[in-house]
Chain A
Amino acid sequence: MTPEKVEKALFIIFAVIAIASALNILLQRSPIYSALSLIGTLLSLSALYLTVRAQFIAAIQIVVYAGAIMVLFLFVIMLLNVPKDQPQIEKQKGLRYLAIPFAGALIAETFYVLRLVPARALPVVAPAMADQAVGTTWSIGVGLFTSYLLPFEVTSVLILMAVVGAMVLARREGD
């Protein structure tokens, strides 16, 4: 098999897995199964990042998203021991039909915008010099510490505030 065929097959397989497990998040009643489906979506997106030569982002996706954030979700789900989700009680049934024109408008807008994307779009996946791709750790590191240094530092302040805020919010009143 040529590399192009492998990339094509990988795109189709992981796109289908991503959509299917994303739908599974909504279809499951139990939050645990939803969280596991979300992990499936995140992992297949990571594989898609690899096919477009964004190696560093693929690794970060697995370590931070599928690792840290989803463990946090599973921890909270198991800590709270929430009952299975019941269908929503509808108070205004007429509003349901109002959703159809809005959804149609969203889809029409999207196709209108996507129409402007060049039809002869060059393949995103192309055999290129892998060492000099933008997705490598080297190029991202250089970018983060030169042209994007200020946003990087502001982000670290944001993380600090989020950690302190989460501790204050989850603390018991008496402590």
Chain B
Amino acid sequence: MISIIIGVLAYVAPVLLQAQPFLKRFEPTLINFLMLSFLLFVVGVAGVLSRRNIIIIFMSIELILNAVNLNLIAFSRYLDINKDALAAKGLAVNPLAGPVFTIFIIVVAAAEAAVGLGIVIAMFRNRETVAIDEIDLLKW
């Protein structure tokens, strides 16, 4: 394990040293938040597609919803800062919609987790499994 970390560091350290001027100029912008959100979304989709434990699939769905939330918050902040510039172009923006819809998404995620985990418990009681390829009663 430690040797793996040292090996990774040996690869990463020169890259980080070269990246130092870039990091000095770097400033978190809208596009960085969008890229982070995209990466989280992709990891969530990979989890939904590759795992067979239904609880981990639920967790991946939560990850996807969080990526959406990050998008909404970043856009809300962007619109809030640029409100005057956008109004000069004739675009009326509503930065409040981002946080409000984030709250709605969190509420829907909570409801989805409650119902979904209820289904998982009922399924486990009947079939003694949480693997999605063994839950195939409705498959034609």
Contact = CB atoms under 8 A, between A and B. Distances in A.
B61 to A, nearest CB: 11
Nearest to B53: A85
B36 A19 contact: yes
A122 B29 contact: yes
A4 B102 CA distance: 26
B135 interface: no
Contacts of B31: 114, 117, 121
Given A140-B96, A170-B118, A51 B82 contact: no
Nearest to A29: B53
Given A52-B73, A124-B78, A126-B81, A134 B95 contact: yes
Nearest to B114: A166
A153 B62 CA distance: 23
Interface in B66-100: 66, 69-70, 73-74, 76-78, 80-82, 95-96, 98-100
A34 B28 CA distance: 29
Interface in B14-72: 23, 26-36, 38-40, 42-44, 46-47, 50-53, 55-56, 58-60, 62-63, 66, 69-70
Nearest to B78: A124
Given A117-B30, A134-B76, A76 B106 contact: no
A82 B122 CA distance: 14
Per DSSP, chain A at the interface is helix
Given A162-B111, A162-B115, A52 B77 contact: yes
Contacts of A76: 55, 117, 120-121
Per DSSP, chain B at the interface is helix
Given A8-B27, A117-B31, A73 B73 contact: no
B115 A166 contact: yes
Interface string A100-138: 000000100010001001000111111010000111000
Contacts of B98: 134
A169 B59 contact: no
B44 to A, nearest CB: 7
A159 B133 CA distance: 30
B76 to A, nearest CB: 6
Interface of A: 4, 7-8, 11-12, 15, 18-19, 22-23, 25-26, 31, 34-35, 38, 41-42, 45, 48-49, 51-54, 56-57, 60-61, 64-65, 68-69, 72-73, 76-77, 79-80, 82, 85-86, 88-89, 106, 110, 114, 117, 121-126, 128, 133-135, 139-140, 143-144, 147-148, 151, 155, 158-159, 161-163, 165-170, 172
17 contacts: A26-B60, A48-B33, A54-B102, A69-B110, A73-B59, A79-B121, A80-B120, A86-B131, A122-B82, A124-B28, A124-B33, A134-B99, A139-B96, A147-B96, A162-B114, A167-B118, A170-B121
In the A-B complex, list the 6 residue pairs whose CB atoms are closest, starting with the nearest: A162-B111, A169-B118, A166-B118, A11-B28, A166-B114, A52-B77
